[in-house]
Amino acid sequence: MSYETLQYDLAAGVASITLARPAARNALDARMRTELLHALRRAAGEARVVLLTGAGEDFCAGQDLGQRRNAADLDHERALVEEYAPLVTALAECPLPSIAAVNGLAAGAGVSLALAADVVIASDAARFSFAQARLGLAVDAGASHWLPQAVGLPRAMGAALFAEPVSAAQAAEWGMIWEVVPHAGFEAHVARRAATLAAGPTLAYAAIKRSLRAGHARALADQLALEATEQGAALRSRDHAEALVALHEGRPPRFEGR
């Protein structure tokens, strides 16, 4: 498969997957979702480590809203079940160690992707945003599974309800990510981390991953299904319709609730 929306490189056992729509802040459109799932499955069969990052100044701005003018433009509930769930599951259940190298903005489904990886390394210029509430939507793509487990319910609630960006330093303090490194040396540091894992005991890493992930209280598949149902209702709400109109008119939304 040839890739149009990402770059795939395999060197020294490291499969580097770079989301490559920088003009769109690496937002996930249908093509990218298809290509990313293919790339993750390919890496699982030929690499020793998966390294996921973004081209340009951003990691991933989440769902691509640029092609949406109204709520009917995209059946996002279907996409969550048929596209996002397999994508997040492929990353989370990949038998190889995975690193999400968050070089800039990670928002919405972009944060979910990062948290599905085994290790998140962030540049000190990175920021994490669960911004769905600003569009009258629920968190999705696995966020309701990963976030409370990573930071606890109170912080997860605050991050999702206020939809305020979380800095890399704050994310590290909360336990949401593994480490923060200076932006100037970010790529070199991530490359060293990936090389360390690529030279390590692959079978032991797989066993570690299975054991640690088995400790989660709720199955990822169950939570992904619940998210799709909740998001489907939100997508059909007047709040979301108003948020889309306001987005394209360049004004704050006027939410009226039910």
Distance between start and end Cα atoms, the chain? 46
pLDDT of residue 219: 73
Nearest to 109 by CA among 28, 54, 200: 28
DSSP 178: S
CATH number at residue 176: 3.90.226.10
In the chain, pLDDT over 90 holds for what percent of residues? Answer: 59
Name the token pair of 255.
Answer: 């939410």
Nearest to 22 by CA among 50, 53, 67: 53
Structural domain of 119: 6-183+198-249
User: C-alpha dihedral over 151, 157, 160, 166, to 10 degrees?
Assistant: -40
Nearest to 167 by CA among 213, 109, 123, 212: 123
The answer to the question of residue 21 being in a domain is yes
**Mean pLDDT (the chain, rounded):** 88
Per-residue burial over 10-27, b if 16 or more Cβ lie within 10 Å, else e, is eeebbbbbbbbbeebbbb
The answer to the question of residue 64 being in a domain is yes
The answer to the question of residue 80 being in a domain is yes
- Does the structure show a pLDDT above 50 at 73? no
The answer to the question of residue 191 being in a domain is no
Instruction: Give the chain's length.
Output: 258
The answer to the question of residue 203 being in a domain is yes
The answer to the question of residue 257 being in a domain is no
* Element (DSSP H or E) covering residue 61: none
**Lowest mean pLDDT, pick from 61-70, 94-103, 117-126, 200-209:** 61-70
pLDDT of residue 72: 45
Number of domains in the chain: 1
Query: Cα separation of 39 and 207, whole Å?
Result: 23
Task: Sheet containing 14-19: give its strands across.
Answer: 6-11, 14-19, 49-54, 98-102, 119-123, 179-181
The answer to the question of residue 212 being in a domain is yes
pLDDT of residue 19: 97
The 10s digit of each residue's pLDDT in 143-178 is 988 899 899 999 999 999 999 999 999 999 999 999
Query: Cα separation of 117 and 85, whole Å?
Result: 14
The answer to the question of residue 77 being in a domain is yes
